[in-house]
Chains A and B, each alone.
Chain A
Amino acid sequence: MTTIYAAKKIYTHNPSRPIATHVAVKEGRVLGVGSLEELKAWGDYLLDEQFVEKIIMPGMIEGHSHTMEGMLWRHAYVGFFDRMAPDGKVWTGLPSKQAVIERLCEFEKNIKDPQVPLTGWSLDPIYFDGTRFNREDLDAVSASRPIGVLHASGHIMNVNTKALELAGLLRTGIEHEGVPLGNDGLPTGELKGPDVMTPAGLHVGFNEDMLACDEQGLWDFARLAVRTGVTTATDLATRLSDEVVDTALRVTADEHYPLRVVPLRFHHGVTPKELVDQVLSLKARSTDNFPMGRIKVVADGSIQGFSARLNWPGYINGATNGLWYIAPEQLREIYDLSLAYGIGVHTHTNGDEATDLVLDTLEAALRDNPSFDHRFTIQHGQLISQAQFRRMSSLGMSVNLFANHHYYWGEEHYMQTVGAERALRMNACRSALNHQIPMAIHSDAPITPLAPLFTAWAAVTRETRTGRVQGEYERITVAEAMHAVTLGAAYTLHLDHLVGSIEVGKFADFAVLEDDPYEVPIDELRSVRVWGTVQGGRIFSSADM
């Protein structure tokens, strides 16, 4: 049966017919877009007018997120910024250390079983004038229950004394730069880096593999997606163990599951050959809502962690250059094999030296494996220079920029990491588009909230959290930003023939909005209200989530 939806306005993102009033849906796909009169030609239909006062646009696509955000919401959110939970509740941001402790206490009271750990997430003491947390702070919440609070960066965790004890870390003799010690020679409770976080994480409510999402997490992540107008989201670094794949295939096949999850297999821990073999065999098990067959490579670290690989002149504070997370030869082998087998590779670079490595490696790999339409994508690419954009364009690369980063950490980049000039060019959306590079923009959820309209606003305004414009020449238009969070992201995933616009034959994936993102004042773009989504022709309202 055909359903024809009437809307106040439909933005199709199809340049042949950019705006319409009606969209016909059959078998989960778009049968046609146009006026009611035009669509009647398809025969019997049911007219659904529930969206007649609403705006319909293509379902938004989060090109760089991690489904583990869904798992975090069962824990205490203690971030500095307001943030919406899967159930729609907006948790207010916490402005001080005291407020963080108070929220943790509230959560603590509600856990009956004294053995169950208390877990918090999205802590960022950078906003509290650098006030650090130590185990005594968290002992004040509970001394008997293990407590762990993950920082917003995902790279640091604070734990209480009980958690240190359970992890075997409450002792002297630990010599590790990720484990600051107090005057008593015992760890202060701040644990930095995955090596250190893992042993404690197991005792404070985190999985062994923090990136592996469970069933409830996938559902909660999808509820957030509906609330933010997202119908396709990547899980950008997963090891795709048999268990994870089986769970995800089962959950995403549920008739009530509202999200297409696109997992990218993380390169680490296996050889290039094993990686490509695994991805090829998983590709064959793909479904519409869980398309596999893509690879994520991490080349370097992060800029604020001073582990990104930078070209001269390096970090403004003189920090030693960062770390490689892959050897150039291994990167080359992954690129060679992936080009030969037609697998899409997304490579994380933060520093510009890491971007150079990707460009040099891909250029050489393409000479040996001439490839059309490979769409290899740089993820983050925060410091890409003009010359690098020119090369990316020549090599046929795409980019997915971290376009809201300046809002959260722009002040720090300006003052402490790379200095003013390079801070202005970070996540240079305007430049990418000027070089005709297919571009997406992302949140890296849970690092920042899953909220493409907010990310779009950040790319359009370039405002930092203090309201200062940082990088005015890299601002893009609303239309360009909306393209980036739909077709732009779809293109990087080789899914633009299926999603990203409302066009005949494509999946009926829509974001249904209360306000018109193209018409509201620019500053209100970030607060455009989302009614819900239509995904594969099925209707999901935020209110039902």
Chain B
Amino acid sequence: MNFTSQKNDSVLTPVTLLSGYLGSGKTTLVNYVLNNADGLRIAVMVNDFGDLPIDTSLIVAKDDDIIQLSGGCVCCSYGNDLVRALARLQDLPNKPEHVLIECSGVALPTPVKMSLSLIQGLAYDGTVGLIDGSQILKQLSDRYIGDTVARQIKQADVLFLSKIDKLTDDVKQSVYEKIGTITSKHAVGIEYGSVPLDTVLSSYVADDLSVDKDMKFQNSKFTHANFESMVVRHENAVNLTILHSKLTSHSAGIVRAKGYLYADDGRQYLMQLVGDHCEFTPVNKIPISGLSENESAFVVIGIKGKLLMPSLS
């Protein structure tokens, strides 16, 4: 749990990390995100352009390190120097609204997360970990990469399991059990990189709140078989510490949460939660109409059938 100092959160660019070993589907997911950006200016940072199958019709311009895509998204290769590439993003004429970093196959996400704090204007938005369901048992028992893959899983805030469609139920069961020995987070099965973008990028979660002013949450994006979402509205002041522990309790099944809180210290906060990582940023005014001063409202997204909203009282 972090309390960010008072600052204008609108200038902070959220950064999501995409972690996972080779073949886990990171590139597929990146492509899915770019194809469904829906107007959000996303900068995707990849180690190299090598395997990225960007639809050529999307490409507006391309040089050595940066590909401009129609719709305002860009794709940058960072090669050896992620920090410099991130710093350079800040200088783009059309500053991205969200950054998605595809970590290299053997990279551990925590050092990447730490390096975000070296650059002003960035806010960590969680690590999405991808697991290759068809290879994970083999990978975890590999003498060379087993510990690296396990560390990647441990360090992720949200876990997706790809390539499970061809697995038998028995193998699937072993995969879930094995992952369960590494982390208490639920790994959610996905196909072809298709995930609700809300689970990957908090920027999409924010849209929902501003649109659904009456807080009647009807989200057409949630056609995904494995996720569900709900809006929580609460009329009394909340205790942030208690809320944090409730939301991050794994039995709550919450992947992400975002919204505004009226806390028992009398202040109002923007809350952004992904996995175990939660930021509370003080705000002067809650930008949701129809919400009274003492009210809190936030969206939670979780795993279908596992999402339980603990009582806030």
List residues of chain A with CB under 8 Å of any chain B CB: 168-169, 171-179, 194-196, 198-199, 208-209, 239, 266, 268-271, 273-274, 309, 321, 323-330, 353, 356-357
Contact = CB atoms under 8 A, between A and B. Distances in A.
B108 interface: yes
B80 interface: yes
B12 to A, nearest CB: 11
Contacts of A168: 118-120
A171 B4 CA distance: 13
B5 A173 contact: yes
Nearest to B5: A173
B37 to A, nearest CB: 25
Contacts of B31: none
Interface of B: 4-5, 21-23, 47-48, 50-51, 77-84, 87, 104-106, 108, 111, 114-115, 117-120, 142-145, 147-148
Given A169-B118, A173-B117, A176-B115, A327 B79 contact: no
Contacts of B23: 329
B99 to A, nearest CB: 16
Contacts of A321: 147
Given A269-B80, A270-B50, A271-B50, A199 B117 contact: no
Contacts of A325: 106
A330 B22 contact: yes
Contacts of A208: 81, 84
Contact of B118 (A196, A239, A327): A196
A383 to B, nearest CB: 16
Contact of B48 (A178, A269, A323): A269
A173 B143 CA distance: 38
Contacts of A195: 82-83, 111, 115, 118
A339 B144 CA distance: 23
B227 to A, nearest CB: 30
A184 B35 CA distance: 46
A323 B117 contact: no
23 contacts: A168-B118, A174-B118, A175-B117, A176-B117, A179-B118, A195-B82, A195-B83, A199-B119, A268-B80, A269-B77, A270-B79, A271-B48, A321-B147, A323-B108, A324-B148, A325-B106, A327-B21, A327-B105, A329-B23, A329-B105, A330-B22, A353-B144, A356-B144
Contacts of A179: 118
Given A168-B120, A173-B117, A274 B144 contact: no
Contacts of B148: 323-324
A176 B142 CA distance: 30
A176 B114 CA distance: 5
Interface centre among B5, B47, B78, B114 (most CB of A within 10 A): B114
Given A195-B118, A269-B47, A329 B81 contact: no
Nearest to A274: B50
A179 B111 CA distance: 12
Given A198-B84, A324-B144, A330-B22, A174 B79 contact: no
B83 A199 contact: yes
A326 B145 CA distance: 10
A329 B145 CA distance: 10
A165 to B, nearest CB: 12
B5 A177 contact: no
Contacts of A329: 22-23, 105
A346 to B, nearest CB: 18
Interface centre among B21, B50, B80, B119 (most CB of A within 10 A): B80
A143 B147 CA distance: 45
Contacts of A357: 144
A321 B143 CA distance: 12
A271 B46 CA distance: 11
A172 B5 CA distance: 10
B25 to A, nearest CB: 15
Contact of B144 (A199, A209, A323, A328): A328
Given A173-B5, A328-B145, A357-B144, 9 more contacts: A174-B118, A176-B114, A209-B80, A269-B80, A270-B50, A274-B50, A321-B147, A323-B106, A328-B142
Contacts of B4: 173
Contacts of B21: 327
Nearest to B113: A175
A194 B51 CA distance: 26
A142 B50 CA distance: 46
Contacts of B48: 269-271, 274
Contacts of A196: 83, 115, 118
A172 B48 CA distance: 32
A327 B117 contact: no
Nearest to A201: B84
Nearest to A241: B64
A199 B105 contact: no
Nearest to A324: B106
Contacts of B117: 173-176
B106 A327 contact: yes
A177 B83 contact: no
A168 B108 CA distance: 25
Contacts of A173: 4-5, 117
Contacts of B104: 327
A327 B135 CA distance: 15
A175 B113 CA distance: 9
